[in-house]
Amino acid sequence: MAEVELKLAVDPADLDRLLAGPVLAGRGVTRNLESVYWDTPDLRLMRRAVTLRVRRIGRRHVQTVKDAGVTDGLVTHRGEWEAPIGGPAPDLSAITDPTARERIGALAPAELAPAFVTRVRRITRTVSAGDGGRVEVAVDRGDIRTSDGRCEPLAEIEFELKAGDPRAVYDVALAVAAEVPVRLERRSKAERGYALAAGVDPPVRARRAVDPPIDPDGTVEAAMAAILREGLLHVLENERSVLGGDPHDGVHQMRVGVRRLRSALSLFGPVLPGERSDAFADDLRWLAGELAAARDWDVFLHALHGPVSLAIGRAGPLADAFAGLDARSRSRRDAGHDRARAAVVSPRFARLALALGAWIEGRGWRAQAVSEKSARLFDPVGVVAADLLDRRHRRALKRGSGFARLPTEARHRARITLKRLRYAVEFFRPLYPVKAQGRFHRRLAGLLDRLGHLNDVATAERLVAELDGPAAGPDAVWRLAAGAVIGWHARGLVESEADLVSDWDGFAEAEPFWTRDR
């Protein structure tokens, strides 16, 4: 059967207050659960993204097979197959479902051994939500243990849909988040157990944006939901990268996800109720600000300071200056990553993700007066997409008018408008033939790359100013390196000015691909 679940982590000290509060008040069931996770010595099941668990509940034993499932926002849709068995060791003959057997693969009982054990005291309540929604809330307190004595505490709240729409899971989780501070927990107990058993978390790569699954024959509402859901996934699936798996690229990709979400809310603003979408925009702006320092210093170190240091600063009279600038910059970069990690594990981030997920899954934008504006939600997306792209395109051309004469700040504003156009083009890419998009998209992307470098140099001047101050001392030698970095790239901008203007002209002359069949 399919399991629909969501999980939050909580401070153990808050669990009693939560259980006494209004959301989980009432009668429930308390059980002590011991679950042994089995695998082969070479962790064959882990590599297949399958878990085999035997749980002791009183005198009974229940065997469970789970697959990795699919995550849709914060909710995981997972395959789960349970069967009662006669003892604490796995009974592979009890796995009768063909899908479950295919997930497990060829396996002999003698190959299996315990990989780790979870012991929890679980308090379960069933909560009603929405129109017929029922959510089982399990509050777990305990630990994960390995055979060699390693241990990790557990304090989690699991929400599992028993009846109704998945929106109910979000609603109950939001009610819990209003009572006690929570943070997102996207790892299963099995993932945490395997990481503990191996002594190291598995490698995590930053997740890039993908095209949203838009049906060309669908409505604006369906397309908008797909675009917003993909944006939320882009943010959430980079959480572990930000926390340490691949922090540099993870911060960058999470910021891209945030910008895409903000751009989508702005793009569909004409059909959205303003108050709720504005609240999301404010929270997303906060998150972008918390990630900014880490990304800015990463870019400074790798794209600006690094090339100049390699060319002139590794040896000779400026070596000490570049070493000093590198040390000060890395300290600021590390502080920026600390700030980003703190944001990602904060209750505000969790509430934002839960509220946005609930809004998307519950089609929260329908809570507005019926009007000509709201009726456009049910128009064909192919017609409306072209109109929205036209609007973004015209705005970009207007912002960049007289580009060769525009000062740096005006070019920065033009760049922001062009990025919004690029996101809109990428949102609606599934609606148009790939070949037709090529030339326009290449010219837009090339122009944005050049403008991005212009912005990076302007940001570098601000960052260097942040390094300065009374604490730096009047004779700080790193200033020589900072001046060299700014001067090097400023000269590069002058030398590439003609190419930048040419790139703008090429973009301005490119025929919009979405207008060809109109």
Q: Per residue in 297-326, pLDDT tens?
A: 999 999 999 999 998 877 778 899 999 999
CB 246 within 8 A of CB 337: no
Q: What pTM was computed for the model?
A: 0.89
**SS3 label, residue 279:** helix
Are 258 and 235 within 8 A, CB to CB?
Answer: yes
What does the pLDDT read at residue 475? 57
| pLDDT band with cut points at 50, 70 and 90 for residue 295 | very high
Q: What pLDDT, on the 0 to 100 scale, is given for residue 58?
A: 85
- For residue 474, the model assigns a pLDDT of 52
Q: Among 74-78, 97-101, 467-471, where is mean pLDDT lowest? A: 467-471
DSSP β-ladder status, 75-85 and 113-129 = unpaired
The yes-or-no verdict on residue 3 having pLDDT over 70 is no
Percentage of the chain surpassing pLDDT 70?
96
CA angle in degrees (0–180, nearest 5) for 347-351-357: 145
pLDDT over 50 at 239, yes or no:
yes
CA 125 to chain centroid:
30
Dihedral of CA 236/237/240/241: which sign?
negative
pLDDT tens readout for residues 18-77: 998 999 987 789 999 999 999 999 889 998 889 999 999 888 999 999 988 776 656 777
Residues of the chain with CATH 1.40.20.10: 230-515
Model confidence band, residue 223 (pLDDT cutoffs 50, 70, 90): very high
User: At 1, is the pLDDT very low, low, confident or very high (cuts 50, 70, 90)?
Assistant: very low
Separation in Å, CA 164 to CA 63, 129, 133, 354: 27, 9, 4, 18
CATH 2.40.30.260 fits 2-202, yes or no: no
The model's confidence at residue 508, banded by pLDDT at 50, 70 and 90, is very high
Report angle CA 196, 198, 204 to the nearest 5 degrees.
85
* Cα 179–Cα 184–Cα 188 angle in degrees, nearest 5: 125
Q: How confident is the model at residue 2 (pLDDT cuts 50, 70, 90)?
A: low
Report the CATH fold assignment for 230-515. CHAD domain (1.40.20)
pLDDT tens digits along 111-151: 999 999 999 999 999 998 877 889 999 999 999 999 888 99
The mean predicted confidence, pLDDT, of the chain is 91
